[in-house]
Amino acid sequence: MRLSVTSDLWWKNAVVYCLDIETYADGNGDGVGDFRGAVERIDHLDRMGVTCIWLMPFFPSPDCDDGYDITDFYAVDPRLGTLGDFVEFMRVARDRGIRVIADLVVNHTSDRHPWFLDARSARDSRYRDWYIWSDEPEPDDPEGVVFPDKENSLWEFDEKTGQYYFHRFYRFQPDLNTSNPEVRDEIARILGFWMELGLSGFRVDAVPFLVEQVTDSGDGRLPDPHEFFADLRAFLNRRNGGAALLGEVNLPYDDLVKYFGDSLGNQITMCFDFIGMQNMYLSLARGDAGPLAAALRERPRPPRDAHWATFVRNHDELTLDKLSDSERQEVFAAFGPDEDMQLYGRGLRRRLPTMLGGDMGRIKMVYSLLFSLPGTPVLFYGEEIGMGENLDLEGRQAVRTPMQWTPNRNGGFSTADPAKIHNVVPSGDYGPERVNVSAQQRDSDSLLLWITRLIRHYRDCPELAWGDYAVLDCGARSVLAHRADADGETVLAVHNFSERETEAEVVLEGLDSSKVLTDLLVDGTVEISDEGRARFRLGRYGCRWFRVSTPETAPADSAGSS
């Protein structure tokens, strides 16, 4: 495909890398990550082929919810640096051709935000209507409590003003009232401020909760959520036509697709595919590609200039809420049988390598799958080296441990006394002595170099991002086969979810023996019959990417190209 056509929609074949400044690299030795430290590590991402950095919250915060409880949307937390440090980080990233997006967390504020301090000072205060109040706590939906281990209600009584305020998440995070036009204008100003400093977009936190009717006494002012996001996207496009919104929309497909803007694609630019991710883990647990294949066949096609975002792991619990109870228990039994490994009864607080018992062949197959699935791949920091979790930490913090750069003190994250490190690095098989960037850079069989290689092939195969895709029948339950077609070019990817060697056969409509399948991950070609059939063997957790070509134009094997 012509780069002049595809470059404007950079998110379609981006490689997004999520990092938390607080846990990525400490530049001043105080035990807390900061922008100065992250600047010094950007070349690691450049070497991998990352094209977009997603920054978790870096704003001033009491840090009761890992930075998601914000006291100032227009500043940098002093622990992490200054606005000047942020701008320097942006400049260095831009110099490497890497875009940056940041978390947009405007569902709520900290209860220490000046707006809320004013709001709870009196019923007629300036910012009172920026939050949601009720004389009586509205009826609670137990399933609506996001953190059932910490909260048992969505309403908290404020003694000074004698009313209850609404909080979808923690009680120290009062929800903003998006029915108030002043609040909506302020949200736009927040976007505009950070875009002026170079951001290329935002990851929108908890999209379905941003605009919701929570009281029975609504006055009809609540905006339609889709009008709200269409207005937000229009503002974004006016400021920067190439900016993007990446949405956390964990809903059934029929409800989720509306947040793209239906056929218009004028709301959320990319939506995470939570259903596909959850069914991938069910397929891994069963050694059967069926659940993932079914999810991909069910997944709606997004509007033309919108896209799905695919992922293996994120910064929260590995939610399994869209699986049935029995399916969820299957995944728990396979990958988190101990109660301490589970969270909220709906998810796991583990990373992939520990869930798969360190089986590197299986781990590599999963990341091959990630980069070949239709969608924009998103990595969580540390995935590229196979970091593990620290279950001694509470809740979601288990997977938010410091990045492991070297086998040295604090894993090279910081020179500080280890007692000053907030989230202690894991020890044992997944500690920095055994899992770190510096060692894997020199190991040709490492996960880091495997993912680097996958990124290169992914970027060389625009069909995977831009093409029409189809899941193919292949005669083997354990194998997922899918093809992507664009501009007369075809890429085929096959992945074996089984520990047994498997033979599979696909029928490639529109192709015949005048074409061959050239393997992109290993040397060799596979012939196609006159009827369009291709047969191949896949080893234990094997994965292969093929490009359709003529025998004359097939790429040379590595031995023949020297």
> 3-state secondary structure string, 512-556?
CCCCEEEECCCCCEEECCCCCEEEEEECCCCEEEEEEECCCCCCC
> What is the average pLDDT across 258-287?
96
pLDDT digits (tens, 9 = 90+) for 355-373: 999 999 999 999 999 999 9
- Tell me the mean pLDDT in the region 491-496: 98
Residue 433 burial class via C-beta count within 10 angstroms: exposed 0-12, middle 13-18, buried 19 and up: middle
In this structure, are residues 375 and 353 in contact, taking their beta carbons and an 8 Å threshold? no
Tell which wins on pLDDT, 150 or 329: 329
- pLDDT tens for residues 380-419? 999 999 999 999 999 999 999 999 999 999 999 999 999 9
pLDDT of residue 211: 85
Pair type for strands 376-380 and 307-311? parallel
How many angstroms separate the CA atoms of 287 and 499, rounded?
A: 8
Asked whether residue 217 carries a pLDDT value surpassing 80, the answer given is no
pLDDT tens-place string over residues 291-339? 999 999 999 999 989 999 999 999 999 999 999 999 999 999 999 999 9
Q: What is the pLDDT of residue 139?
A: 76
pLDDT digits (tens, 9 = 90+) for 101-122: 999 999 999 999 999 999 999 9
Q: Which of 283, 274, 284, 278 is nearest to 309 (CA)?
A: 274
Mean pLDDT, the chain, as a whole number?
94
Give residue 5's Cα distance to chain centre: 26
Give the pLDDT score at 5. Answer: 65
Cα–Cα distance measured from residue 224 to residue 130, given in angstroms and rounded to the nearest whole number? 18
Q: What percent of the chain has pLDDT over 90?
A: 88
Residue 24 in tokens: 């990525």
144-150's contacts with Cβ under 8 Å and 24+ in sequence apart are 144/168, 147/344, 148/344, 148/345, 149/343, 149/344, 149/395
Q: What is the mean pLDDT of residues 187-201?
A: 98
**How buried is residue 5: exposed, middle or buried, by Cβ count under 10 Å (0-12/13-18/19+)?**
exposed
pLDDT tens digit sequence for 34-86: 999 999 999 999 999 999 999 999 999 999 999 999 999 999 999 999 999 99
Q: What pLDDT is stored for residue 113 in this prediction?
A: 98
Give the mean model confidence (pLDDT) for residues 495-522.
96
Pairing of β 347-348 and β 376-380? unpaired
Nearest to 131 by CA among 78, 98, 178, 168: 178
CA distance 52 to 174: 31
CB burial of 452-476 (b: ≥16 within 10 Å; e: otherwise) equals: bbbbebbbebbbbbbbebebbebeb
Confidence at 263, pLDDT banded by 50, 70, 90: confident
What phi, psi does 504 have (nearest 5°)?
-135, 155
Question: Is the pLDDT confidence value at 560 over 70?
Answer: no
DSSP code at position 28: S
Q: Which of 240, 244, 247 is nearest to 207 (CA)?
A: 247
Residue 180 has phi, psi (to 5 degrees) of: -85, 120
Could you confirm whether 248 is annotated as catalytic?
A: yes
The pLDDT value recorded for residue 562 is 35
Rounded Cα gap, residues 466 and 472, in angstroms: 18
Q: Is 360 left (phi over 0), alpha (psi -120 to 50) or beta?
A: alpha
Helix (H) or strand (E) holding 506: strand 502-507
Kindly provide the b/e burial profile for residues 514-549, where b requires at least 16 CB atoms within 10 angstroms of the residue's own CB: ebbbbbbbeeebeebeeeeebebebeebbbbbbbbb
pLDDT of residue 561: 42
Sign of torsion over alpha carbons 467, 468, 469, 473: negative
The closest alpha carbon to 270, from 314, 297, 315, 233, belongs to: 233
CA distances from residue 14 to 246, 378, 409 in whole angstroms, order as listed: 12, 9, 34
Sign of the CA dihedral running 22, 25, 29, 35 = negative
CA distance 270 to 251: 14
Task: With beta carbons less than 8 A apart as the criterion, state whether 346 and 317 touch.
Answer: yes
Q: Is the pLDDT of residue 215 over 80?
A: no
- Residue ranges of E strands in 167-288: 201-204, 244-247, 270-272
Of 50, 172, 168, 54, whose CA–CA distance to 103 is shortest? 54
Residues in Cβ contact with 38 at an 8 Å cutoff, skipping those fewer than 6 apart: 19, 21, 24, 25, 27, 89
DSSP one-letter string for 426-486? P-GGGSTTTS-HHHHTT-TTSHHHHHHHHHHHHHH-HHHHHSEEEEE--S-TTEEEEEEEE
- Report the alpha-carbon distance of residue 34 to residue 249 in Å, rounded: 29
Q: What percent of the chain has pLDDT over 70?
A: 96
Tokens of 113: 């935000």
Given the residues 205, 288, 383, 389, the one annotated as active site: 205
Q: Which pLDDT belongs to residue 8?
A: 80
CA neighbor of 263 nearest in space, from 225, 310, 230: 230
DSSP 386-409: T----TTS-GGGGG-PPP--SSSG
Angle 497-498-504 from CA coordinates, rounded to 5°:
80
- Rounded to whole angstroms, the Cα distance separating 30 from 178 reads 38
- What pTM was computed for the model? 0.96
Bridge partner residues of 427 (DSSP): none
Q: 216 and 118 in contact (C-beta within 8 Å)?
A: no
Q: Which of 20, 22, 66, 248 is catalytic?
A: 248
